[in-house]
Structure 1
Amino acid sequence: MVEQRSVGSTPTRRCRNSRRCLAVCRSSIIRSRAAVSSNQRTNLAQRAANVEAKRYEITRRISVDPLECISGSHHGHCCRTAAFRRRNRWRRSRILGNGSSDSVPHVRPVRVSGDVKFTNVVGGFTHTCGIARDGAALCWGANDSAQLGDGTVKPSFIPMHVATDIRFQMIGPGGGHTCAVSVEGIGYCWGGNWHGQLGVGNRDGDPAAPCCYRRPTRIHTDLRFRTVVAAGISSCGVAVDGKAYCWGSPQEGRLGTGAADAAIKWGDKTVPTAVSGDVIFATVIPRAWHTCGLSSTR
């Protein structure tokens, strides 16, 4: 059933990787928002100034207690909290973590294999990651660019521990890479780095740079982060002071670092670069062609 919902406040749940998927919102919590729009999507840029008044079409709405999830395109897959914080997921089995390698779409929740109790699970483009109660990171799904962080490039149909003793507080899988923030606020990324999206100071193809990073590698900065989220060929994070930083490919203006950067075809940013303006952010979410954020002040 097609539904329309007004966008003007805090998302109760979001499908992280669908361009047509927007959150059902509750008013009275988030007061404003800022968006870094794709230069190739001028209609989105024109609407950014008055996004509070806009209404968007939701292609399909699925209600699950206690979290609400909305799915739109074939890229979207969602999760919900089950009893004892086990996780159920639905989409295609190969990235659901239920042990099956088939590619049949699942329209109902399926149980993730194992008895790990998660505090958070996030879906990427073709892989999924979660944080266990003890702070360990686990990922499953596609792994062609080492985005699972388990030290291999083999896909996994069940959750695999990321190859590190680091304890994490959040995780943000994207396309061919994944980023996370440790309990100390240190940012780490792993996986493909062809546009410098890991933020480690180089990119694939540079002298002495590996083709991909198979284990968590510290982002090249002294910043402490609240969140770091991976996208396709870029990543963004919010520092503890609320300032936003992005890195990777600047094309289409997805990094929010200014028009001059966006015009440089190979002007990849290999370390965190401040987003233009003086907005204090609560969160920033990069996507394939654009980035959006929620400000913490009016």
Structure 2
Amino acid sequence: MKIFFNRKLLLWLIVLATNSATAREICETNAKMATDSAHAAIVTKSCAVWMWGINNAGQLAEKPKSYTEPEKLLRPKSVPLMIDIVVAHDHTLGISEDRYAYIWGSIEYLSCGGDFFEFHTEPQRVLSIQNVKSISASWRLTVFLKQDGSVYEHGCTNQSNHKIEKLPVQVAGLPRIESVAIGSSHRLALSETGEVWSWGDWNVFGQLGTGSKEPQIQPVKVAGLPKIVTISAGAMHSMALDTDGNILVWGSNRDWQLGLGGDYSLSPERISGIPKVRAIATGWFSSAAITTKNRIFVWGNRSTRGYPTPAEVAGISDVASVYIGGNAAATSGIYIVMQNGNVFNWLPDGRAHENQPVPYANGKLTPFPPDWPAPFNIEMPNKMLNPDAQK
């Protein structure tokens, strides 16, 4: 009996070590930032989580403070190692090394915006979901992609009739999915064969790409697209990258986020004027792309004097990844990870460009965070990320 127990324990330890190694490998190749809210987060190559910004509901896994007291970059002690993280309104979600989903901050998204306020300052496991591959989230809805390619929704799945799913429920009618994205309420899913599917109860700007403004409660395939490798969703617009490095967009253009003429597009349209692209990103009302030569193009944000058509960010090269900031001063601008792992923040110059397409976007590039003696480096081991250790 004793021998059987030891063998069982040894097998368990081997499985645990294998899972952990796999998780670390994911972080090594997929260290990322999540910045499109009033708070933001970083997952380093060692799977460590760092956060900053507004913490009114415990979304930083710290004791809440008022909107006027944003937190500087910190490492929340209660947040374990994560392989993925997303920020949404006043809550945060992450995927642990063992592929469970966790949430902290407000959980008002389970109320469809009703009179409800509950928050947690420590990560809480999302029940009835495991083997999670990735997460996409908005204010009132979360979409989970499982490792088997199935998609689940959690929260306010239909704002028009206040339909709430208290536990994650599978989305029917989809093939095996590779990645998911969510806007304000519309959802996108990229199949393993490069097809894009969309659905949602709000489609007034054609953000579903179906050629009409009618909502689609069940997923439908977006017609007229070539084979797609990446998808991204802003508040009311959608973007896709094809295998040839071309960008296709649809939905609202009221803030120039499509980089096209007109107020909206009901079907996918190709953007011109950008060299071959390898990565795309969307903010609530803006868009960005990285070319194969590691340069950045930005467009959108009309209300803050942005760019009506894609403009190359002047003087910046050797870019690894880019993340569009959120709707608060603490997370504004564009966050750029360089090829060496250093993180910077870029803010546009704020000049008006109404009906004046420009080839270059000028702005200010500063190391992030600005109060550290050196830029945060997404590749460095945990012990070197403490500013005191860098002095």
What TM-score, normalized to structure 1? 0.69
Instruction: Give the secondary-structure state (helix, strand or coil) at the position aligned to 1:188.
Output: strand
> Which amino acid letter does the alignment assign opposite residue 55 of structure 1?
R
- More moved, 284-293 vs 127-136: 284-293
**Could you say which residue in structure 2 is the equivalent of 1:226?**
278
Cα distance between partner residues in 1 of 2:180 and 2:241: 14
Q: 1:123 aligns with which of 168, 182, 192?
A: 182
> Which amino acid letter does the alignment assign opposite residue 259 of structure 2?
G
Check whether the contact 2:276–2:292 (CA below 8 A) recurs between aligned residues. Answer: yes
Task: Give the number of equivalent residue pairs.
Answer: 248
Instruction: Give the secondary-structure state (helix, strand or coil) at the position aligned to 1:180.
Output: strand
Q: 2:199 aligns with which of 123, 140, 143?
A: 140
Which sections of structure 1, spanning at least 5 residues, go unmatched? 1-7, 30-40, 96-100, 203-208, 253-264
**Could you say which residue in structure 2 is the equivalent of 1:296?**
339
**Could you say which residue in structure 2 is the equivalent of 1:273?**
311
Higher Cα radius of gyration:
2
Q: How does 1:162-181 map to 2 (within 5 A)?
A: 162-181=222-241
**Could you say which residue in structure 2 is the equivalent of 1:66?**
99
Residue by residue, what CA displacement relative to the aligned partner does 1:161-210 show, whole Å, maximum 9, x if unpaired?
1121421100101111111101111011111111221112x3xxxxxx3x
**Structure 1 pair 82/28, CA: closer, same or farther in 2 (3 Å)?**
closer
Instruction: Give the secondary-structure state (helix, strand or coil) at the position aligned to 2:197.
Output: strand
**Could you say which residue in structure 2 is the equivalent of 1:3?**
none
Cα distance between partner residues in 1 of 2:214 and 2:326: 24
**Structure 1 pair 123/43, CA: closer, same or farther in 2 (3 Å)?**
same
**CA offset at residue 20 of structure 1?**
3.6
Residues 1:103 and 2:103 are matched in the alignment: no
Check whether the contact 1:15–1:71 (CA below 8 A) recurs between aligned residues. Answer: no
Cα distance between partner residues in 2 of 1:92 and 1:288: 22
Cα distance between partner residues in 2 of 1:188 and 1:285: 19
Residues 1:186 and 2:246 are matched in the alignment: yes
**Could you say which residue in structure 1 is the equivalent of 2:268?**
216
**CA offset at residue 219 of structure 1?**
1.0
> Which amino acid letter does the alignment assign opposite residue 245 of structure 1?
F
Residue by residue, what CA displacement relative to the aligned partner does 1:30-78 show, whole Å, maximum 9, x if unpaired?
xxxxxxxxxxx9987x95xxx5xx3369856565753655465543443
Instruction: Give the secondary-structure state (helix, strand or coil) at the position aligned to 1:92.
Output: strand
**CA offset at residue 158 of structure 1?**
1.6
> Which amino acid letter does the alignment assign opposite residue 272 of structure 1?
P
Q: 2:38 aligns with which of 14, 19, 36?
A: 19
**Could you say which residue in structure 2 is the equivalent of 1:239?**
291
Structure number with greater CO (CA < 8 Å, separation at least 6) is 1
Check whether the contact 2:35–2:324 (CA below 8 A) recurs between aligned residues. Answer: no
Check whether the contact 2:36–2:324 (CA below 8 A) recurs between aligned residues. Answer: no
Instruction: Give the secondary-structure state (helix, strand or coil) at the position aligned to 1:144.
Output: coil
Check whether the contact 1:196–1:249 (CA below 8 A) recurs between aligned residues. Answer: yes
**Structure 1 pair 17/109, CA: closer, same or farther in 2 (3 Å)?**
farther
Check whether the contact 1:13–1:70 (CA below 8 A) recurs between aligned residues. Answer: no
Residue by residue, what CA displacement relative to the aligned partner does 1:70-126 show, whole Å, maximum 9, x if unpaired?
46554344333336311112121228xxxxx74244342110111411111112221
> Which amino acid letter does the alignment assign opposite residue 19 of structure 1?
A
What TM-score, normalized to structure 2? 0.54
Cα distance between partner residues in 2 of 1:16 and 1:112: 27
**CA offset at residue 285 of structure 1?**
2.3
**Identical pairs, percent:** 22
Which sections of structure 2, spanning at least 5 residues, go unmatched? 1-26, 49-66, 80-90, 110-137, 342-391
Query: Which is helix-richer, 1 or 2?
Result: 2
**CA offset at residue 11 of structure 1?**
6.7
**Structure 1 pair 60/213, CA: closer, same or farther in 2 (3 Å)?**
closer
**Structure 1 pair 61/278, CA: closer, same or farther in 2 (3 Å)?**
closer
Residues 1:94 and 2:154 are matched in the alignment: no
Provide the alpha-carbon RMSD of the alignment: 3.6
